[in-house]
Structures are given as C-alpha cells and as structure tokens.
Structure 1
C-alpha cells in the first residue's frame, strides 16, 4: 500500500431526497447498515479502486450518478456512510472553486486568507502572490471587494490560488468548462505543467477531448456504482455506446 496515492474500498454514501426533512433518532436505530431508510438514496455504493502516485484518472458518467460526490469524498469534504477512503498525500481540490471566499474582503485579502486555509505559509503566499494575481488577470482589482468581481473573475482567482498549491494530488471537477477560451488555455497549460512534475490527477469532465488529453485511465460511474475501470479510450467508448443505446 506504500505505492498507493488513493485507496477506495467498498465506498458508499447516501443522501436524503428531501433535504428539508431530518432523520429521527428512532429511524436511525431502526435501520440496518444495508437498508436505506425511506426518503434516502445511495449516491455511491460498493465502489473500490486504487490510484498510484503520478496516475491521471478521468471519471465519467451521466449527471447525478455520483462523480462529484466521489471527488468530494476523496478530497475529504464528505465522509462515507460505508467503506473507506485513504489518501496518502496532500490534496489540491479544484472543486466548487469559489467556495470559501469572503465577499466583503478585497481580492488581496482573499488570496491571503484562502491560500492560508489551504496550508500555504505566509512566506509562500508573499512569494507567489504576484503570480497568482497575474495568472488571474486581476492586477487592477487587487483592492476591490471580492463581491464586486464578475463570476469569471472569481473563477480565475480561485483556480489561480488552488493551482499554486504544492500538494501531490490534484482533484479537478469540471472547472475547465468555465471561463473564456483564452483562460481555459491557460488552465490547460497549468495542469500540463503540474502533471509534468509528477502530480496525481483525479479529473471529472464531460469533455472527451480534455479527458483524452490529461488522463490515461478511466473510471465509469453508472447507476451509482463503478461499472468500469480501464484505459480512458475504452471507458469513453463504452460510455458513448451506453448513451447511444
């Protein structure tokens, strides 16, 4: 297991369909671990796989099958109801990018806050601050309140901060689908550079070209389970065939 970056074993997580309701203590004690209480469903169940350091994994599947949930479990944002997720290296999560930023703080203050929360030291933040701002193309907005930025500016800033982290595992969830063409190209180049350093990539996307560009192996999530774990070309071919059926 020493040569494993991510180990997922019999993973399962369930959610409520009606988020307004809450499970009673009585219902929690009455239900067994294999029985789904009324109003709940398994977002993922029985998922197992290992990822070696330096691998580039693409996760595919229809909307609502649990792809983003899987990434959040690997990132530690969610906890499983069954099974386990073991991550043996630090994670740089490019998911829900703009979460954690504070609207009333300036761009400058948000960079320091967010980078610090992700584990950057004050020295690292100072050394990389100019590059973060330049990559995000926000030189003229450093002292503007974050809430006054456009949605595109917010995404650029968030990607720029998180992609500066030194963590060995990069988790990416559809972030390349946002922003204009020139910024997406910058994102491609940044991810290429990170992969060239030997980072591990865990990547969710509906873009076949992006998946083939970055990933060598694919995981196909179907009916909330892992249906296929194979080379990315084979996984994409099966996914396409299933969608055409």
Structure 2
C-alpha cells in the first residue's frame, strides 16, 4: 500500500483577533476546552484529506478561508490546535517571499544562508549557485543588499532557490503573482519539469488558468472547512457556482 505524501486528519487551528483573551498554560498543555474564547476564531476546522505522491493539488476558496494557513500547517510553519498533519518527505516551500531572507545581507550571502537553512550542504550551494543566480536573472545584483531588491526580484530569488531543492513536495502560494509575466511563465515551466520528475504539488491560487494547467484535483475551503475534494474541474465548477462566477 502506497504511503500518502501528505495526510491531514481532523485538522483545526485557532487564531486570535487581538492579544486579549490569550489562553493559559493550562489551556496549552492539557485540560483545554476547544470552545472558543472571546477574540478567538477557528481559521480551519475538521479538515481531513490525503495526497498521494506525485499528485498536483489545487487549494481553492475565497480570501480569508484558510488556504494559506493550510499551506503553512503542511509546511510545519504553524502547529494545529486539533488533529494532525503527517508529511512523508521533505518540503520545498514557496510561501512568503521574505521567509528566510535577511535584509542587510547581500543576494550572494542570502543564497548561501537560505539554501543552507533548507538543507543544502556548502558543496551543493556552491555547485548550484550560478544556476540559482542565472535563473533569478540577478547576475548584476549579487552584491546588492536584499532589502534594496524590488518585490519582483525577491520573488525571482525565492523561487530560484526553492526550485533547486530536491525535496519531493513543492508548496506554492500565490507569491508568483508578484512577478512579471515573462518570469512567471519561466517559473511555471520549471514547475512542469518538477511535476514530470514525479514531485508532489500543493498549490494555492485564485487563478483558474494556472490551476487547470498544473492540478488534477482540487480542495475547496469555505467558512474555514473543507467542503469539496474532487477532480479539479468539478471543484472549480462548484466554487464558481457558489461565488456567482459560473
């Protein structure tokens, strides 16, 4: 029996609208009621699904329904308050363009730092460095502090580093929407190549064309719960009908 690349069971996470009403130590370490306190809300609740190795999954829903939160839970950036997330294999996360990068360090220094944080050895970084810079189209900016790059340049650098990782699961949020059209297409070609290698894709997007390009299956989040899991076309039809776009 094939082991799932990602398995999510009865997943739930509480967020707070402000700093008031913070839970006590007792709440955090046993004896906590799952009823919400004032100022709290469930960003996700009772979410369950499995992803097989090599699948390309599109996560769909209106803003504020928990799509990016779900991606961060799979990445291990956030921890659930209920249920569990099991990920079998390493992840290559492209979630936030500033994640892992240091403003005062140069592009060159940030490539070495960030690639190292993702698990690349010094030899691997040295071997892949020129390819990372070339893909990101930042040859003339290698000694420029990261904080002086435009948002588009930051996206190019982040994607270039992450796409060089050999992890089996690729997590992509809508950060690619910041890049220009030509570079976005370059990134999408690279995603096609990774999928052809058998990588697993977990992709959050509002762009129906992009979803249809990469994904065969969809997860539809509404009111912070998973309301449909099925073939991408069927899920998009349901979403468009619910939002009046069908």
Superposition TM-score, scaled by structure 2 size:
0.95
Give distance in 2, aligned partners of 1:88 and 1:137. 33
Give distance in 1, aligned partners of 2:96 and 2:145. 20
Residue in 2 aligned with 1:131? 131
- Which is worse superposed, 137-146 or 231-240? 137-146
Contact 1:31-1:37 at 8 Å conserved across structures: no
Q: CA deviation at 1:106?
A: 0.9
SS of aligned partner of 2:236 = helix
- Residue 203 of structure 2 is aligned to residue 224 of structure 1: no
The alpha-carbon distance between structure 1 residues 24 and 210, as it changes in their structure 2 partners (threshold 3 A), is closer
Contact 2:5-2:89 at 8 Å conserved across structures: yes
Residue in 2 aligned with 1:3? 3
- Residue 140 of structure 2 is aligned to residue 140 of structure 1: yes
Residue in 2 aligned with 1:182? 182
Q: Deviations over 1:111-158 (max 9, x none)?
A: 000000000111111111001000110001111111111121111111
Compute the RMSD of aligned alpha carbons: 1.7
Q: CA deviation at 1:91?
A: 0.2
Give distance in 2, aligned partners of 1:37 and 1:158. 38
SS of aligned partner of 2:37 = coil
SS of aligned partner of 1:244 = coil
SS of aligned partner of 2:43 = strand
Contact 1:27-1:37 at 8 Å conserved across structures: no
Map 1:160-175; keep pairs closer than 5 Å.
160-175=160-175
Residue in 2 aligned with 1:213? 213
Give distance in 2, aligned partners of 1:121 and 1:69. 30
SS of aligned partner of 2:166 = coil
Residue in 2 aligned with 1:192? 192
Q: Which runs of 5+ in 2 are unaligned?
A: none
Residue in 1 aligned with 2:54? 54
- Residue 135 of structure 2 is aligned to residue 121 of structure 1: no
SS of aligned partner of 2:243 = helix
Residue in 2 aligned with 1:72? 72
Residue in 2 aligned with 1:14? 14
- Residue 61 of structure 2 is aligned to residue 23 of structure 1: no
Give distance in 2, aligned partners of 1:112 and 1:26. 38
Q: CA deviation at 1:32?
A: 4.5
Q: CA deviation at 1:108?
A: 0.5
Q: CA deviation at 1:76?
A: 0.3
Give distance in 1, aligned partners of 2:84 and 2:97. 25
Pairs aligned (count) = 244
Contact 1:218-1:230 at 8 Å conserved across structures: yes
Q: CA deviation at 1:241?
A: 0.2
- Residue 163 of structure 2 is aligned to residue 159 of structure 1: no
Q: Which runs of 5+ in 1 are unaligned?
A: none
Residue in 2 aligned with 1:38? 38
Give distance in 1, aligned partners of 2:97 and 2:223. 27
